[in-house]
Structure 1
Amino acid sequence: MANELNESERFAKEVKIDEEEEEEEEEEQIEEWDDWQSEEEDSVLDFLCLFCTSRFDSTLALFKHCSLDHSFDFHGVVRNFALDFYGSIKLINYIRSQVAENKCWVCRRSFQCNGDLQNHFHVGCEMDGKVLWEDDSYLKPYMEDDSLLHSFACDEDEDDCTTSMDKEVMRELISSEDLAELCSNGELDAQTEIGQKGCCLEIERIVASGISLDKSSGSFHQKNKNEQLRVSRGIVAAREIKSVNDNYFGAYGSFGIHREMLSDKVRTDTYRCALLSNPTLMDQATVLDVGCGTGILSLFAAQAGASRVIAVEASAKMATVATQVAKDNGLLADWSMRCEQPDSKNVVSVVHCMVEDLDKHVQVPPHSVDVLVSEWMGYCLLYESMLNSVLYARDHFLKPGGAILPDTATIFGAGFGRGGTSLPFWENVYGYDMSCIGKEVVEDASCVPIVDVVNSQDIVTESAMLHFFDLVLMKQDEMDFTSTFDLKLKSEHMVDSAYAPSGVTWCYGIVLWFETGFTSRFCKETPALLSTSPYSPKTHWSQTIFTFKEPIAMTAAKSITNSSAAIGSKECPATTIRSRISIARSSEHRSIDVSMETTGISSTGRKHSWPVQIFNL
């Protein structure tokens, strides 16, 4: 009996201990929950007003402030214009972009300061149904880390959101061009009202009652789906662009690339000459360096006497490196000391961003830059599409009459012979014939452009100019072009049997290169020219090779040919190759598409055209 009692007491004690431990655990969980809530409260989102510098801890407070102080009813505008989620994002980014430029978001009138703008504000109803933020560019956040974009739709409960979505569908129906047809077909009873207003009320009744519109308004749903698809494609494209940009600027974080560019004496010495040998251009100038990399051009500009150098670099790593390089060389700007040391050489400021976002990171007044410098050229000149950014900087920051370095760019082309291919290599590999590999390699090359050095002795035709760019005057859409040009044999191939023992010279494709000019328009003391020609010292750009599907036989104009043979063959060589090349920015961001049409023309004027070839670089 005593043993049983002891067992009972021991059991009771264990139960009590377990209960106490559970209570302690619960208290600890409550404390942890309180801590978590406290941390959450401490990290309350910070919402910036759309029109002024006021900040709020909730979107509810922000929109109330906008309504009372700025006569802007966000939810009212969303309802009036039937904006979906993405339309609301566009509205927010559009308003922020307009206010940043002291412009009215309704009438787009410009003002001297934000205060004048505040006194002018229209209310949304004055827009008369006109939507100014339709462009998909407004899907891109105007302000970095804009909390409002993530929270503006969270003020209403799910039922309200569902009702709102239904009303958006209703408004989509109301605004549809097919609404009258829908009513006239008797699918909606609009006889009790006149015109669109009656249709509106009837559709609203159907939506409110929960009746399915799938059957009666298939065309409207299709239109809505098409709109959603268009927006979705825009978002996907924006994500792809961001991914390409991240990879592109990330690649420039490799020091190997920068060593290759800095070691390119043709490139670096040309820029150095243009910046250091034109004192009337550079003395006390404000300089904008787009895509500064290591900052070498900014250092040249500072050395040349610039009063301020803004070095813009989108790669985070290289922006940090350029800052350190400028600091190590005593050129990094310390603007807090400028008043005390007005003649200081510390003039270089490095800004980590794309130039399109520069005004969000540093104060650069519009059209205040004297000299815009950039090493923007890619393979075949236009690969990487950085010229877009240079033209943007020109239009937004360069003074009227300000200098662009370089200010011209020209693309050239010529036909190349067998030595410009890999065939000679494969015909003798340590004494062995591997020409079967060479033939396959050349066939593959007819589908993919090759960046390589072509020796001048392998150029078999005269050179032709494809396109000339004036960076001062050109527009962005002029980057895409089509050029038709004729190629004829070089004079030495016409008369020297050493080049063409059989009287026939084989052209295997067309090689492109470019030149950029630092002309006397701006470089008055010392103009300069950067050439990537096969006839000039080689550069890191090399040349860009486009190989024909099959080589074309060429000969001098006075040669006798077989009139029955195919033009471009050995029996009937062409005297002229006429090429039509189009270069356009690819749908894949920062790439270019190249199409090449080729026609052989005989001495008698007969022609033969080959199928068009498409390349992507």
Structure 2
Amino acid sequence: MNSQVDEQYFVDYEDLEIHELMLKDRPRQEAYHNAILKNKQLFKDKVILDVGAGTGILSAFCAKAGAKRVYAVEASNLAKLALNVIEENGLSEVVKVIHSRVEDFSLPDDEKVDIIVSEWMGFYLLHEGMLDSVIFARNKFLKDGGLMFPTSATLYVAPCSVPSRYQYWDNVDGIKMNTFGEMLRNVKSHKPEITQIDADCLLHEGTVVSWFNLETVTLEELDNINLQEVVAIQKSGNHQGFCLWFDCGFPSSSGKFEDMTIFSTSPKAPETHWKQCIIVLPPNACEAMEENTPIAFKLSMQRNPNDVRKYNLEMEMLDSDDVEHPLPCNCFMTKCILTKAHLQTMDTDDE
């Protein structure tokens, strides 16, 4: 990574208000607390690496879960605060705070760790590029068969309404402000917006943009993420943008999926500091949609060549007549209705 970009990133990360926001984010805190403390069997007598330890709270969780040793690696000057937190909780015998980039860090005697813990997620999952450092640590320090916390991440997209950008300006204390609203929308349509929307604003349950297995994902897979899709609107509403959110899954001691801790930033889940990433459509691309209307689009996420911690997001609307639809497709186009009926007939015949 560019050293100047990295230096500024770590300086910004020292802002205590950022960490106050994260520490008061109950869904975030409860997900990590439950994933670690409710799976003590996985942590007992194990060696843990906490990548980007921040205030040290995740390292403290690991120590409370019975870890033999926790290496809390933090590149920013926040490492001094983390050391105080660990000492304050009487965990210095277990947790060793290291002020270093993980890329510059070495374990004693080329030791390997049993588990890597990190809270690396950014807006729309990949903003900040911290997953790069987690992958580096995994490749260099994790034992064969070791565990990643979280172990998977899924990025979703769904068409949505954005009433804060549209309906709100119809009446501001009795005054129509649509002219202002339109000018604001033109500005906002060039840059994704981080905001919380109501679950009712979703016009579709969401489709997967990308799923990441944190045990195997490579840096190359993160450089370019593309999705071309057709979705059928599941409820009538105004299509005014696209909503991006992510879920993360953590290992469980039982090994069963149903016992995994799943953490979500969906509009349907409790609000987090990540909120959602909204790509607002320009006014001429917005329209009222009836249920089962097909929406075809292409989403592209590419690393910013001047700042690898950021991505350029591009949304292109496509003509649903020119794009292949998924099978089955629930839209109201005749070809999809006939194909769906044919597939249902085949299923009935198989029975």
When normalised by structure 2's length, the TM-score is 0.86
Q: Who is 2:82 aligned against? A: 322
C-alpha separation in 1, matches of 2:281 and 2:172: 24
State the Cα deviation string for residues 343-392 of structure 1 (Å, max 9, x = none): xxx20111111100012xx52625x1001000000000000011110010
- Whether 1:551 aligns to 2:297 is no
Given the superposition, is the C-alpha separation of residues 395 and 522 from structure 1 closer, same or farther in structure 2, using an over 3 Å criterion? farther
- Identity rate, percent: 36
Query: In structure 2, which of residues 97, 119, 129 is the aligned counterpart of residue 350 of structure 1?
Result: 97
1:554 deviates by: 2.3
C-alpha separation in 2, matches of 1:523 and 1:428: 53
Q: Helix, strand or coil: the match of 1:385?
A: coil
1:451 deviates by: 0.3
Query: In structure 2, which of residues 48, 59, 65 is the aligned counterpart of residue 304 of structure 1?
Result: 65
Q: Who is 1:446 aligned against? A: 189
Where in structure 1 do 4 or more consecutive aligned residues deviate above 6 Å? none
Q: Who is 1:536 aligned against? A: 269
C-alpha separation in 1, matches of 2:136 and 2:43: 22
1:526 deviates by: 4.4
Number of equivalent positions: 320
Q: Are the aligned partners of 1:466 and 1:485 in contact in 2 as well (CA < 8 Å)?
A: no
Q: Which amino acid aligns with 1:601?
A: S
C-alpha separation in 2, matches of 1:291 and 1:475: 19
State the Cα deviation string for residues 303-359 of structure 1 (Å, max 9, x = none): 00000000010112x100000110111111xxxxxxxxxxxxx20111111100012
Query: In structure 1, which of residues 339, 359, 377 is the aligned counterpart of residue 121 of structure 2?
Result: 377
Q: Who is 1:295 aligned against? A: 56
Q: Who is 2:344 aligned against? A: none
Q: Which amino acid aligns with 2:124?
A: C
Q: Are the aligned partners of 1:276 and 1:303 in contact in 2 as well (CA < 8 Å)?
A: yes
Q: Helix, strand or coil: the match of 2:175?
A: coil
- Whether 1:506 aligns to 2:267 is no
Please give the residue correspondences for 1:217-256 in structure 2 after superposition, counting only pairs within 5 Å: 241-256=2-17
Please give the residue correspondences for 1:417-566 in structure 2 after superposition, counting only pairs within 5 Å: 417-419=161-163, 421-479=164-222, 480-490=224-234, 492-493=235-236, 505-520=237-252, 526-549=259-282, 550-557=285-292
C-alpha separation in 2, matches of 1:358 and 1:254: 23
C-alpha separation in 2, matches of 1:364 and 1:439: 62
1:427 deviates by: 2.4
Q: Who is 1:175 aligned against? A: none
Q: Helix, strand or coil: the match of 2:62?
A: helix
Q: Who is 1:601 aligned against? A: 320
State the Cα deviation string for residues 87-107 of structure 1 (Å, max 9, x = none): xxxxxxxxxxxxxxxxxxxxx
Normalized per residue, the structure richer in strand is 2
After superposition, the CA RMSD in angstroms is: 1.9
C-alpha separation in 1, matches of 2:242 and 2:102: 35
Normalized per residue, the structure richer in helix is 1
State the Cα deviation string for residues 501-556 of structure 1 (Å, max 9, x = none): xxxx3201111000011144886694201100000001000000011222034224
Q: Are the aligned partners of 1:278 and 1:526 in contact in 2 as well (CA < 8 Å)?
A: no
C-alpha separation in 2, matches of 1:418 and 1:531: 20
Given the superposition, is the C-alpha separation of residues 510 and 599 from structure 1 closer, same or farther in structure 2, using an over 3 Å criterion? same
State the Cα deviation string for residues 368-423 of structure 1 (Å, max 9, x = none): 1001000000000000011110010000000000000000000011111142x422
1:605 deviates by: 7.6
Q: Helix, strand or coil: the match of 1:413?
A: strand
Q: Which has the larger radius of gyration?
A: 1
C-alpha separation in 2, matches of 1:477 and 1:552: 37
C-alpha separation in 1, matches of 2:227 and 2:45: 41
C-alpha separation in 1, matches of 2:334 and 2:27: 42
Given the superposition, is the C-alpha separation of residues 594 and 522 from structure 1 closer, same or farther in structure 2, using an over 3 Å criterion? farther
State the Cα deviation string for residues 191-248 of structure 1 (Å, max 9, x = none): xxxxxxxxxxxxxxxxxxxxxxxxxxxxxxxxxxxxxxxxxxxxxxx7xx22211111
Q: Which amino acid aligns with 1:247?
A: Q
Q: Who is 1:113 aligned against? A: none
Given the superposition, is the C-alpha separation of residues 474 and 522 from structure 1 closer, same or farther in structure 2, using an over 3 Å criterion? farther
C-alpha separation in 1, matches of 2:118 and 2:64: 17
Q: Who is 1:106 aligned against? A: none
State the Cα deviation string for residues 243-284 of structure 1 (Å, max 9, x = none): 211111111111100010010110111001111111221000
Q: Which amino acid aligns with 2:17?
A: G
C-alpha separation in 2, matches of 1:285 and 1:554: 54
Q: Are the aligned partners of 2:63 and 2:94 in contact in 1 as well (CA < 8 Å)?
A: yes
Q: Are the aligned partners of 1:403 and 1:522 in contact in 2 as well (CA < 8 Å)?
A: no
Q: Who is 2:35 aligned against? A: 274
1:428 deviates by: 2.1
Given the superposition, is the C-alpha separation of residues 394 and 364 from structure 1 closer, same or farther in structure 2, using an over 3 Å criterion? farther
Q: Helix, strand or coil: the match of 2:208?
A: strand
Please give the residue correspondences for 1:575-594 in structure 2 after superposition, counting only pairs within 5 Å: 575-589=293-307, 590-594=309-313
Q: Helix, strand or coil: the match of 2:183?
A: helix
C-alpha separation in 2, matches of 1:582 and 1:376: 21
Gaps of 5+ in 1: 1-237, 333-345, 494-504, 558-574, 607-617
Q: Helix, strand or coil: the match of 1:426?
A: helix
Q: Are the aligned partners of 2:233 and 2:295 in contact in 1 as well (CA < 8 Å)?
A: no
Given the superposition, is the C-alpha separation of residues 429 and 556 from structure 1 closer, same or farther in structure 2, using an over 3 Å criterion? closer
1:604 deviates by: 5.2
1:485 deviates by: 1.9
